[in-house]
């Protein structure tokens, strides 16, 4: 058994395409829960879930208040709420102030999940037009999680992965087409 209990993914501008690419290549036997925070600007995340499900070999669903975090499922943060993971490994939703101009915030999700999973997770920061996720990625790394950052040169919007590298560094900095393979190597039993 590997040491990673969860996979986290954060993205913004260009995120739909990036997530579709990664989820299409993830092995369907990945046992970890996958938590996704993508800034969409939409009031409803149902369409994002539907578009991701068309490409994913794992089930995709919107994370809901008090629902359990389930392995082998892609859980997507709902629009307008911060997604938190409680110590009981259930989701909590918050309407606290925006962080890095965002709600849901990648930083909030990364930090909450790191605490809940006691650092045993892999966090992925991909394309995006702001710095949300960089501080959360640093938090993941300080708590012995593994940080994967999309090579900014392969990102539709390079600001987010570049901020991640500048603030947190990375255990792996790879182009978009290598992220799924990296996760498969790290996370398959």
Return the SS3 of 124: strand
Return the SS3 of 129: coil
Instruction: Concatenate the DSSP letters of all residues of 54-76 into one string.
Output: TT-SS-EEE--TTPBP-TT-EEE
- Cβ contact 76:104 at 8 Å: no
Catalytic residues: 12, 39, 132
Neighbours of 28 (CB within 10 A): 9
- Cβ contact 134:161 at 8 Å: no
């Amino acid at each position: 058994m590997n040491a990673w209990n969860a996979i986290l993914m954060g993205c913004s501008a260009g995120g739909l395409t990036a997530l579709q690419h990664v989820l299409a290549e993830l092995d369907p036997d990945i046992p970890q829960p996958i938590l996704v925070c993508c800034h969409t600007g939409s009031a409803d995340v149902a369409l994002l879930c539907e578009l991701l499900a068309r490409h994913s070999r794992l089930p995709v669903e919107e994370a809901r208040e008090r629902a359990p975090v389930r392995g082998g499922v892609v859980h997507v943060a709902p629009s307008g709420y911060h997604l938190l993971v409680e110590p009981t490994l259930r989701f909590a939703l918050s309407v606290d102030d925006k962080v890095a101009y965002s709600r849901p915030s990648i930083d909030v999700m990364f930090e909450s999940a790191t605490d809940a999973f006691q650092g045993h997770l892999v966090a992925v920061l991909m394309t995006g037009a702001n710095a949300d996720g960089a501080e959360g990625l640093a938090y993941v790394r300080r708590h012995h999680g593994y940080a994967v950052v999309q090579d900014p040169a392969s990102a539709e919007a390079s600001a987010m992965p570049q901020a991640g590298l500048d603030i947190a560094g990375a255990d792996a900095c790879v182009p978009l087409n290598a992220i799924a393979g990296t996760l498969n190597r790290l996370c398959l039993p």
